[in-house]
Amino acid sequence: MSAQTGIEGSFDLQTYRAEALEHVSAREGIPIGELTIINEAFATFPLTGRTLWGAKMLDEKSSAVYGVYLDEQGRVVEIDAAKEAEAAEKSKRYGKLDPELAERVSTMRSDEKVVVWIWLTEPSMDRSRFQGNLSEEQHQELLSLQRAAYAAHEAPVIDFLKTQDSTVVYASQYAPVVFAEVSRETIQDLSKRSDVVSLDITRSYEPALSSAAPTVKANVVWGRGKTGTGIKVAIVEAPLGSGSRIEFSNPYLPDGSSYRPDLPVSSHATAVAGIVASSHSTYKGISYGVPALLSANAETGNDTDIVAAMEWAITQGAKVLSCSYEKYTSGVIEDLAQYHDHVVWSNHLTVVVAAGNPPIEGAEAGVVLSPGLAYNVITVGAFDDMDSSAWPGDVMWAGSLEQSGYIDPISQHDDREKPEVVAVGTRITSTTDMSPWIGSVPSGTSFAVPAVSGEAALLMHRQSQLTSWPEAVKAAIMAGAVHNIEGASRLSDRDGAGGIDCSIADDTIANNRWWANTVTYGDFPKTYVLSGIPAGKKVRVVAAWDSHPPDLHPPYGTINDPLQSDFDLLIYDPNGEQVEVSSSYDNNYEIGQFTAEMSGNYQARVVKYRFEGASERLALAYSISDP
């Protein structure tokens, strides 16, 4: 669900559409009759107070997509100029400081200190040989390269902080970030350094509060011999009360190790672990064959401790990071969300996070919580299966005071859609932290996240190449999420692409209905053959790529982490007739769905609307299911 309101009234849309078509026709030399507007949106710039109307147009003959923006007076303008003006205004108001930190600094005493994120420039390192399918040895080599590069790059800032009587709380091993407790004067000095890009205040997070496996069809995949064998899953937890550690004494859980074995156990962490890996004969975890679990138990809910716990799990070889914690940030991506994006983009790992459990009433009612706002993660909402594996009657989860988050992140054109998928989040039986070791657990998106994390492990067991292609994991899971809980079947506000179906996603991978490649500007349009589609079947196609968080800190104005590429998805039937278009502005995925009217080979074509980086990691997956 988007939050854009009231803008349309100040624009004569019929006139704007006609002007846009005429302009693109003249600019590109294409007859107006061959151009079709496939999407339109308003781009907002809150600091400069500007609003632009934009349209995407498809050239029916070439399949190229063109765009244009008009301002409030109906004049054609360049959006890059508006972005630069917004960035300049942000710099003028706040410098390198996040607005919240700038406000805090303005009231700090000279002897007062605060813990901050210090984002640095991205160090130079040769990642070219780590872009494809990585063996475990190659992945460990990548991690070693990153640890050395970031340590060397962070050293001058750490040395400077020591001279300022500042305390270094944590230096990231896998991102250009240092956490430090600093004074007002040190913040001002840091902002003058050329190797410091942005500074922000740290925040605190809290957990996002019969068997769900048959509902999501995990048992079907088990019957095919896939249970998650060989895949390490990390349960990343903030404390609930005093503890955040998995109780590995539970006889239904596999062996595991903990980041902080000295900290108390947690019923929340233990229940989440069971949804992934319980071996109980009745209440099995989604991927009960995983060899071990990693309890990435943060000491506190502060983002410094969460980052440290995640990096321990990365070093231990986790391929899936299951993250069940939340923080309200008014729909704006903050530093921890960008850090999660960095893990996916830089380390090629699958990260699954909660949409959060915002209140039903109040200022933050229904808002997707952070880090669920991040681009590259799989954000998961929760639905209620009424304790039955049959799908009819399932509804989105809502408690007496909380609900599954669904109101979307703030974005330039206000058309991002979160969550990506939903899973069962209530009426669940899982492992507990004391005898008899199995029992009912609370409700919330916390308990939907591990179902999707387990599904990711099943897919990686099916195809080991997916351990280094989180983009393909996301595409396959979204393509397989055909259980429509509410709204439009393809994509809707509250359930995203829908409820997960592990068996459909497994079909996608098992039948080679997926691709993953590193692509460059000259690779487009990129065509994929969807082979052997039977008439009458529902086909869903998902393309997914990444934001590049290392490349731009901080982002334009208050719009976070802008994507370097905008791809659109076109689908054609065996006769070359177009059957589906997906052309959002601000998502890093596109999703198309249709019912095949004829049997044969269809084509999915990914076209570039915008491509500003050197390369992209692009994945596409499609599913075939009953309507």
Q: Please say whether the beta carbons of 500 and 481 come within 8 A.
A: yes
**What number is the average pLDDT over the span 89-118?**
93
- Tell which residue, 71, 69, 59, has the closest CA to residue 25: 59
The pair of structure tokens assigned to 600 is 């044969």
Which residues share a beta bridge with 321?
Answer: 234, 351
> Per-residue pLDDT tens for 209-238?
645 799 999 999 999 999 999 999 999 999
Say which amino acid occupies 452.
V
pTM for this model (two decimals): 0.95
Average pLDDT over residues 159-178: 96
d(CA 450, CA 69): 42
Residues forming beta bridges with residue 440, ordered by sequence position = 429
Chain centre to alpha carbon of residue 422: 13
DSSP tag of 128: G
DSSP state of 408: P
pLDDT of 80 strictly over 50: yes
Rounded distance between C-alpha atoms, residue 450 and residue 324, angstroms: 8
Rounded Cα distance, 173 and 146, in Å: 7
Q: Among 261, 259, 263, which residue's Cα sits nearest to residue 315?
A: 259
- The architecture of the domain spanning 95-201 is 2-Layer Sandwich (3.30)
Q: Which residues of 415-429 are buried (b: 16+ CB within 10 A; e: fewer)?
A: bbbbbbbbbbbbbbb
Residues in Cβ contact with 558 at an 8 Å cutoff, skipping those fewer than 6 apart: 46, 47, 90, 99, 332, 410
Position 5 pLDDT exceeds 50: no
Q: Is 9 exposed, middle or buried (0-12, 13-18, 19+ CB in 10 A)?
A: exposed
How far does CA 384 lie from the centroid of its chain? 23
Q: How confident is the model at residue 558 (pLDDT cuts 50, 70, 90)?
A: very low
pLDDT band, very low/low/confident/very high, at 127 (cuts 50, 70, 90): confident
pLDDT > 90? residue 240: no
Does residue 445 contact residue 357 with C-beta atoms inside 8 Å? yes
pLDDT at position 560 = 52
What percentage of residues in the chain have a pLDDT greater than 90? 86
Q: What angle do CA 588, 591, 597 make, to 5 degrees?
A: 160
Rg of the chain over all Cα atoms, to the nearest angstrom: 24
Give me the mean pLDDT over the 437-458 stretch: 96
Cα dihedral 574/40/340/330 (nearest 10):
-150
Q: What is the pLDDT of residue 356?
A: 95
The whole-angstrom separation of Cα 531 and Cα 469 is 22
pLDDT of residue 557: 42
Check residue 550 and give its pLDDT.
61
Distance CA 271, CA 430 (A): 5
Give the residue carrying structure tokens 């400069």.
48
Residue 512 has pLDDT above 50, yes or no: yes
Domain ranges of the chain: 8-90, 95-201, 206-510
pLDDT at 400: 86
Nearest-angstrom CA–CA distance, 254 and 273: 10
Burial (CB count <10 Å: 0-12, 13-18, 19+), residue 600: middle
Q: What are phi and psi of 496, to 5 degrees?
A: 60, -130
φ and ψ of 490, to 5 deg: -70, -50
CATH architecture observed for domain 8-90: Roll (3.10)
**Residue 559: is its pLDDT beyond 50?**
no
Query: Residue 374's pLDDT band (boundaries 50, 70, 90)?
Result: very high
Q: pLDDT tens, 457-475?
A: 999 999 999 999 999 999 9
Does a cis peptide bond (omega within 30 degrees of 0) precede residue 419? yes
In this predicted structure, the answer to whether residue 553 has a pLDDT above a threshold of 50 is: no
Burial class (CB within 10 angstroms; exposed 0-12, middle 13-18, buried 19+) of 90: buried
Question: What is the C-alpha separation between 545 and 345, in angstroms, rounded?
Answer: 9
Distance (Å, rounded) from C-alpha 504 to C-alpha 579? 22
Question: What sign does the CA torsion over 249, 253, 255, 256 have?
Answer: negative
What residues contact residue 188 under an 8 Å CB cut-off, 6+ apart?
Answer: 105
Fold annotation for 206-510: Rossmann fold (3.40.50)
- Extended strands (E) in 329-394: 350-354, 378-384
The domains spanning 8-90 and 95-201 adopt the same CATH topology: no
